[in-house]
Amino acid sequence: MPTFRRDSLKVEMPDRSLVKIPYFRVEGDGAGPTFYVQAAQHGIELTGIYTVRLLLNSVMAERLNGTLIAVPIANPLAVRWRRHFYKMEPGEPYSSSHPHQMNRLWPGNPERNETERLAYSLYTSLVEQSDYVVDLHCWEQWVGATAIAMGWDPLSIELAEYSLLPFTELGFLDKGFIVHKDMLSAVATEAGKHALIIEHSGQRWVVPEQAKLVSKGLVNILRWLGMLPGEAARSEAQLMRSRDSVEVYAPEGEWIIITLKRPGEAVEKGDVIARLLDMESLEEKAVESPVHGLVYWIGSTRPNADTRPSEEVQVTSKGEKYRVATICELK
């Protein structure tokens, strides 16, 4: 049995108060690697917290080779604030430039704002000693669970494959450069570690099936790394949005969108995935999948829909090219 220890970082804020970040350290008997996993950098991305709980349960039931460091709530200020970022105002859009956007502030700074101090403490106390870094996020309920590899690190791409999630993506690359250099995954990779981002499907509340899916994938990754006994499974069909996907647009008109499928669901060519209701006549129009595949994104297909719910409802307006769905094609 591995040994299990609960501890916490105490981070001093500009007003000298202390913020506690609880974490768990599971030590196995072998000299295997150190694997770091954290959730909830963003305050409404809660499912990963439960994923960490399930992962700890699985690891404690087996023989661990190496060390697991798990931080269920990396950003307690944002979780208590109940928005993506600490001090984010209602209706304020998700952005990369907010001063408390934690995932643009790594490796943090001990002298600057509250969020930068949290990042600094996590980075220097826990991330630096780790070989692998997994950052758990959640995107909108309209998008399927995805493993995002750091595309310039072949090992990261393998981590994404062994996560067994239906969709993978090579993350945040623009013409060979990293778009967001100060994301935890990018900073850790530049420091010689191997990193993976996992996006669960669904923000604002815990989606237990998603936590089960992702924790199962993390256990599989630990097997592949030799940290847990047993053979790692290989994913049978993993799709990449940027390579395999087909966008489905609404015809010109004013429609209320009724979605009939969920992200991750399999569809045949010709399956009705949504119905459009004409705002005047209430006449219905069926939207069919053009291909055999898996639904990647359906319904609210504008980015950050659940961050600003007041601005995103499933209505198309005149002259608008509204994407109803993205289907990843199974060949």
State the number of binding residues for Zn ion (CB under 5 A).
3
Nearer to Zn ion by Cβ, of 37 and 248: the residue is 37
Tokens read off for 280: 């005047």
Q: What is the C-alpha separation between 226 and 66, in angstroms, rounded?
A: 9
CA-CA distances (angstroms) from residue 88 to 78, 79, 83, 92, 262? Answer: 9, 11, 6, 7, 29
Q: How far is the CB of 42 from Zn ion (least distance, A)?
A: 4
Q: If we measure between CA atoms, which residue out of 204, 195, 104, 186 comes closest to residue 147? A: 195
**Which region, judged by CB under 5 A, interacts with Zn ion, from 32-40, 133-141, 187-195, 310-318?**
133-141
Residue placing its CB nearer to Zn ion in the complex, 85 or 224: 85
Q: Which is nearer to Zn ion, 104 or 261 (CB)?
A: 104
Closest distance to Zn ion from the beta carbon of 152 (Å): 21
**216: DSSP letter:** H
Cβ-closest position to Zn ion: 137
Q: Tell me the angle at which helices 47-60 and 208-224 cross, rounded to the nearest 10 degrees.
A: 50
Residue 42 as a binder of Zn ion (CB under 5 A): the answer is yes
**Of 25-33, 40-48, 108-116, 254-262: span binding Zn ion (CB under 5 A):** 40-48
The number of helix segments (H) and strand segments (E) in the chain equals 7, 19
The secondary structure of residue 291, as a DSSP letter, is S
| Shortest spacing between CB 83 and Zn ion, in angstroms | 12
**Residue 312 is encoded by which pair of tokens?**
């995103």
The type of residue at 294 is L
**Residue among 19, 179, 182, 185 at smallest CA distance from 99:** 182
For Zn ion, what does the binding mask look like between residues 92 and 131, x meaning CB under 5 A? ----------------------------------------
**Piece of 36-44, 87-95, 270-278, 311-319 that binds Zn ion (CB under 5 A):** 36-44
Site string for Zn ion, 202-221 (x = CB under 5 A): --------------------
> What letter does residue 143 receive in the DSSP assignment?
B
The smaller minimum CB distance to Zn ion, of residues 83 and 137, is found at 137
For the bound state, the minimum distance from the C-beta of residue 188 to Zn ion, rounded and expressed in Å, comes to: 16
How near is the Cβ of 94 to Zn ion at its closest, in Å? 9
The one-letter code for the residue type at 204 is R
Nearer to Zn ion, 137 or 194 (CB): 137
Give the burial class of 305: count Cβ atoms within 10 A of its Cβ; 0-12 exposed, 13-18 middle, 19 or more buried: buried
41-49, 162-170, 217-225, 279-287 -> range binding Zn ion (CB under 5 A): 41-49
Residue number, 42 or 100, with CB nearest to Zn ion: 42
Distance CA 265, CA 107 (A): 37
Enter the DSSP assignment of 147.
Answer: E
Contact region for Zn ion (CB under 5 A) — 29-37, 44-52, 114-122, 178-186?
44-52
* Residue 148 Cβ vs Zn ion, minimum distance, rounded to whole Å: 11
Query: Residue 295's beta-bridge partner residues?
Result: 327
Contact positions toward Zn ion, by CB under 5 A?
42, 45, 137
